[in-house]
């Protein structure tokens, strides 16, 4: 009723004065929750929270005075079973569902930051992370907190291999964007792991001189090699003038090369012979992988015939990668493989990161299976962790994610199964001096088209920095990942 002067009747005023505080209290309880609710959330009283949910006194959007939800507090206090219950009752996307875009007002952390900071990261925390990450929009997945860190920085600092692999497998596009971000999160993983351990090797024993295998490579007056029954064509596969100059052909003996390489044995066993008109000889003609230069294959043959390492390119990272590739592809004798590993271990820190990428791709690929290449695999991984933002930009998301997953697998193996430090510093055995070399191949030596220049600003002899103390979010590995053990299961699903 309008009294014209704006006055309110006394009775009406008394009624309002009696009802307003109660209504305000109810509205506050509906909006902020009751003290009983927040007490139950803080102590992890799941039964009380469930009872309040049934009474309609709790939902996924309810916030306390500081602006945090029931789900946020349950995660923050480590009550993961309670957090799962809230998530089950209030799925994201529903009217009262959990808000996956919730962000800490001051620190800028998302729910993914919060879950990754969990000290006891087990199956329950993994389940929560999977559900939130799968429902979160891209802006939340890629968000950096007030310190400038995305959640991958936290996962890397805490050596949370499960989170890193889950992202690689299930959200590759987002994972690539996170890794190539300005903060370079994988550097934090490199900072908390032990530096790679070099391989210590002894020089191989030479084939006794009285065997005279090397003499079989000598050419007679007509330019033929006695008893040669295999020819190796090496060099690039193109026909341009520059590529043609890098090609070569080596004559050899199947019994010598096949006895030291199971791959060559299989290749040559049933290969038909053909007549080479230029050399006027009937042989099996085999095409060597075109990524392997003729200088490299010359060194391979020299080793197979002498048992000694003849290597004039020990300081050329590009050619040493090709030698490593040859050893892995053709399963060449272990002394030659170890020589390539030790040389690359010394060269990688001062080489462009693309060299580390090539080495890792060989070591972690199918041709590296069943080979003892852990030293150079660990070393290339260590380099790639520090330069992932640079290297991965040029790869598509799928390739980048597969590479990242293989790198994380390598680091995880190294953390839970460390290599014992060597008793002495590894260094490549000295190659045979040039004056003592014999002429063991027909093609003249050529400079490698793959010779690497030292990375700008790199030291002449690079090293591997020691693990740094004090990563931003701790550095203890999760010895019991949520998939059942240090190396059991995967982050699929």
Q: How far apart are CA 383 and CA 404, in angstroms?
A: 13
pLDDT at 428: 57
Q: 384 CB contacts (<8 Å, ≥6 apart)?
A: 186, 353, 356, 357, 360, 391, 403, 407
Q: How far apart are CA 186 and CA 193, in angstroms?
A: 11
pLDDT at 25: 46
Token digits of residue 388: 């992932």
Cα–Cα nearest to 87, from 130, 145, 123, 24: 130
pLDDT at 435: 38
Query: How many CB atoms lie under 10 A from the CB of residue 95?
Result: 8
pLDDT at 18: 47
What's this model's pTM, rounded to 2 decimal places? 0.80
Contact call for residues 454 and 392 (beta carbons, < 8 A) = no
- Provide the residue count of the chain: 493
Query: How many CB atoms lie under 10 A from the CB of residue 25?
Result: 11
Q: How far apart are CA 332 and CA 340, in angstroms?
A: 11
Cα–Cα nearest to 474, from 191, 108, 130, 163: 191
pLDDT at 422: 64
* pLDDT per residue as tens digits for the range 116-130: 999 889 999 999 999
Where the chain has pLDDT below 50, the residues are: 1-19, 22-29, 424-426, 433-462, 479-490, 492-493
Q: How far apart are CA 344 and CA 198, in angstroms?
A: 10
pLDDT at 114: 97
């Amino acid at each position: 009723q309008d009294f014209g002067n704006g006055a309110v009747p006394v009775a009406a005023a008394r009624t309002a004065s009696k009802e307003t505080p109660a209504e305000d209290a109810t509205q506050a309880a509906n909006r902020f929750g009751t003290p009983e609710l927040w007490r139950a959330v803080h102590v992890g009283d799941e039964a009380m929270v469930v009872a309040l949910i049934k009474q309609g006194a709790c939902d996924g959007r309810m916030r306390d005075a500081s602006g945090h939800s029931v789900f946020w507090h349950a995660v923050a206090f480590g009550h993961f079973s309670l957090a799962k219950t809230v998530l089950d009752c209030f799925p994201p996307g529903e009217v009262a569902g959990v808000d996956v875009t919730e962000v800490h007002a001051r620190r800028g952390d998302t729910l993914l930051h919060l879950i990754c900071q969990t000290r006891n990261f087990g199956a329950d925390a993994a389940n929560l992370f999977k559900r939130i990450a799968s429902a979160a929009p891209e802006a939340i997945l890629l968000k950096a907190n007030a310190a400038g860190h995305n959640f991958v920085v936290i996962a890397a600092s805490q050596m949370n291999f499960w989170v890193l692999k889950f992202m690689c497998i299930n959200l590759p596009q987002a994972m690539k964007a996170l890794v190539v971000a300005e903060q370079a999160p994988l550097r934090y993983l490199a900072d908390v792991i032990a530096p790679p351990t070099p391989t210590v090797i002894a020089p191989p024993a030479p084939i006794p001189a009285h065997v005279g295998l090397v003499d079989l490579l000598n050419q007679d007056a007509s330019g033929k090699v006695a008893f040669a029954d295999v020819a190796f064509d090496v060099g690039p596969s193109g026909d341009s003038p520059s590529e043609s100059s890098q090609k070569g052909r080596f004559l050899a003996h199947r019994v010598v090369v096949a006895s030291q390489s199971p791959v060559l044995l299989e290749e040559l066993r049933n290969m038909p012979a053909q007549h080479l008109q230029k050399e006027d000889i009937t042989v099996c003609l085999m095409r060597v992988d075109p990524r392997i230069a003729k200088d490299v294959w010359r060194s391979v043959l020299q080793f197979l015939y002498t048992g000694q390492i003849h290597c004039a390119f020990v300081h050329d990272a590009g050619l040493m990668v090709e030698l490593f590739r040859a050893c892995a592809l053709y399963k060449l004798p272990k002394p030659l493989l170890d020589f390539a590993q030790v040389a690359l271990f010394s060269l990688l820190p001062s080489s462009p990161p693309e060299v580390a990428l090539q080495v890792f791709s060989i070591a972690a690929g199918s041709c590296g299976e069943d080979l003892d290449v852990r030293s150079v695999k660990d070393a290339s991984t260590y380099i790639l962790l520090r330069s992932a933002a640079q290297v991965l930009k040029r790869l598509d998301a799928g390739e980048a994610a597969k590479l990242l997953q293989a790198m994380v697998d390598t680091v995880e193996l190294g953390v839970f199964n460390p290599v014992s430090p060597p008793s002495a510093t590894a260094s490549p055995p000295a190659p045979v001096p040039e004056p003592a070399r014999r002429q063991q191949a027909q093609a003249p030596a050529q400079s490698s088209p793959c010779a690497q220049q030292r990375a700008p600003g790199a030291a002449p002899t690079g090293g591997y920095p020691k693990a740094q103390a004090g990563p931003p979010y701790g550095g203890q590995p999760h010895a019991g990942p949520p998939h059942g053990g240090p190396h059991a299961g995967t982050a699929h699903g």
